A and B are shown apart, each in its own frame.
Chain A
Amino acid sequence: MRTIAALFARSPFGPLLEHTERVHQTVELVPELFEAFTASDWSRVQEVYERISRLEHKADEVKNDIRDHLPSSLFMPVDRGDLLLFLKEQDAIADRAEDLAVLLTMRQTPTPDGLREPLAAFVDQVVRTSELWYETASALPTLQEASFAGPEVDKTLERIKRISDYEWEADKRQAETTRAVLAREEELGAVSVIFWMRILATLGDIANRAENTADRLRLMLARR
């Protein structure tokens, strides 16, 4: 009888992994974005922005699809609310990446030489944080297979702890870069300073969101 089949709702874990992949693709383009920006290659900045924007839109579609197929009558091994909050935070990573890309297309601002080094280190640390988030979040189907218990959970919790360390490191890089910008106040001019500050804040927010997503995953695991 079809009853047996009807009992199985569509698992959210497969589409969640797809969402993780899509969001990760947007973050992967961030180094290229800064490469173009610091080289004052404005047409390439525009081109990278368009790619990020398309990817962010695809991530949104997956997000909406997951939400559409998550009625409250589902019985899942994790809390439905935790899962939705995780999805929301994860989606915000892609949103921030897009915000950053838009921002960089807004104003043709040259990068002073003294800024290059701390900026590169900051970008690098944000990317490392989000890479670790990606590694953690894409283990979700494996966690489900292991029924959210055992060594897989310990591995994930250990990674989540490391993400928080990485994010803290990213905060320090952000402060360093901000200091480098403010040290060149006169040379850059007020508008450029404010513009740079916004760029750095948005970039730092990508790491914040990656950490938040990981924290949501931690809550999902801790509630059990």
Chain B
Amino acid sequence: MDLGSGLLVVTLIGGAYMAWNIGANDVANAMGTSVGSGALTLKKAIILAAIFEFLGALLVGSHVTDTIRKGIVEVSLFAPTGPAGADGPLLLALGMLAALISAGAWLHVATHLALPVSTTHSIVGAVVGIGVATFGLAGVDWGTMLEIVLSWFASPVLGALLGFLTFVFIRRRILQSEDPAGASRKIGPYLVGLVVTIIFLSFIYKALKNVIEAPPFALAVGVSLALGAVATLASRPLIKRADAHPGGPYEHVERMFAVLQVATAIFVAFAHGANDVANAVGPLASVVTLARTGFQEIATTVPVPLWVLLLGGVGIVLGLATLGYRVIETVGRQITEMTPTRGFCAEFGAAATVLIASRMGIPVSTTHTLVGGVIGVGLAQGMAALNMRVVRNIIASWLATVPIAAAFSMTIYFVLRAIVF
């Protein structure tokens, strides 16, 4: 086996390892709160997560890959004529491999230490490390990096805002009304319509992009609104017919929201697959393209082959199946205070934020956006008790993960370079 195909095989394993870690780590985000609120059993949660993570990764995944691969480190610097010399393309491939291994390993370690680390932040940090290791501080586009870092702070804020507003609406219209059960019968169908509209909007506009030309935005909105209206009309008789719950009006409201929460949990799983598969697939796709040219050329735009996305999706599902279930179980058991109304609001805020961000090509952390959604509901005084010390830990992890992942990938990169050259 020559160096090129050897490198390709090792990178495929590295990419699969990273995807596996993403699945093992992050899936609890989407499903943990639903299991906690009792809206889903553990088994159903695993099956739904597997299906929709995979679909999200496969259908929407390629949108986000660009920013991670090219935006942070200027890829043209690695051209054979560039400052890295004739071996530039090979160095880029080694760098991407180092990034995958280090981000995957860092996630692996963090999972064992129960540290609140983001997969997105890990891979961004690792790629920055490669840029600095090769070209010094000038090798990183600090403008893009700043934008990404700002989005890390902006996305939980946006998630919090959406979670806050959704809960305030539900509280005013349903929980505080004279007849909460009756109000939920009235408003429920519209919420079903809203959720369906947004899910289909993201699905039509983004998911099918790999299959067909994206339809114009107005058309996508129109079709989604129509589907939402259909869902509203279809769900109305079902919701109206539901008998009063013997546990009282609030039980009745919660039971209805349990269904909506499952829908948003699926939405989060889909959004997570779409957003986070890039963390494994981006560097991998780059190496695949480099190998195709025999490490002689740098392509400015790199298509992400479907089979690479497939590998990423399978990796995530494997991670979810082997380790993720345990994380979901733990998370579900620990958050017994979550109710479906609260879970719905937090997840809705998070999923909408992640989809907006991945549409704009900004890598955001799904974990931290969901944390933002939960805090938003808490600020609207919906949560029984939130641990603000954890919020501090999360912010600390934002600051710590990037340098640690960068140092990790630089080390692996130097080792790989010593082996190859």
Contacts and interface: CB of A to CB of B under 8 A. Distances in A.
A149 B176 contact: yes
B171 A149 contact: yes
Interface string A142-168: 101111111100000000000000000
Most buried by B among A4, A11, A144, A150: A4
Nearest to B375: A7
B385 A2 contact: no
B76 to A, nearest CB: 35
Nearest to B373: A4
Contacts of A4: 28-29, 32-33, 331, 335, 367, 370-371, 374
A142 B117 CA distance: 36
Contacts of A8: 36, 334-335, 337-338, 374, 383, 385-387
A5 interface: yes
Interface string A1-41: 11111111111110000000000000000000000000000
Contacts of A3: 116, 367-368, 371, 390, 393-394
Nearest to A13: B384
Contacts, number: 125
B293 interface: no
B371 A75 contact: no
Interface string A108-150: 0000000000000000000000000000000000101111111
Interface string B163-177: 000010001000111
Interface size, B (range): 35 or more
Contacts of A194: none
B50 to A, nearest CB: 18
Interface string A66-77: 000001011111
B241 interface: no
B382 A1 contact: no
B178 interface: yes
A77 B331 contact: no
Contact of A151 (B25, B111, B178, B393): B178
Given A7-B391, A76-B384, A1 B28 contact: yes
Contacts of B386: 7-9, 74-76
B382 to A, nearest CB: 5
B330 A147 contact: no
Given A73-B389, A145-B339, A1 B177 contact: no
B363 interface: no
Interface in B52-86: none
A64 B327 CA distance: 31
A73 B176 contact: no
A7 B382 contact: no
Contacts of B175: 145-147, 149-150
B384 A77 contact: yes
Contacts of B368: 3
B33 to A, nearest CB: 7
Interface in B340-368: 367-368
A5 B334 contact: yes
A144 B248 CA distance: 15
Most buried by B among A1, A4, A77: A1
A11 B337 contact: yes
Given A2-B327, A4-B371, A8-B334, A151 B176 contact: yes
28 contacts: A1-B116, A1-B117, A1-B327, A1-B367, A2-B114, A2-B334, A3-B367, A3-B371, A5-B28, A5-B335, A6-B116, A6-B334, A6-B390, A6-B393, A7-B387, A8-B334, A8-B337, A8-B338, A8-B374, A9-B385, A11-B385, A73-B388, A74-B385, A75-B378, A76-B384, A146-B176, A147-B175, A150-B176
Given A2-B116, A2-B327, A149-B171, 20 more contacts: A1-B117, A2-B28, A3-B394, A4-B32, A4-B335, A5-B330, A6-B114, A6-B334, A6-B387, A9-B385, A10-B385, A11-B384, A73-B387, A74-B385, A74-B388, A75-B378, A75-B387, A77-B383, A77-B384, A147-B176
**Shortest beta-carbon contacts, A-B, top 8:** A150-B176, A11-B384, A3-B116, A5-B334, A77-B381, A9-B387, A5-B331, A9-B385
Interface of A: 1-13, 71, 73-77, 142, 144-151, 224
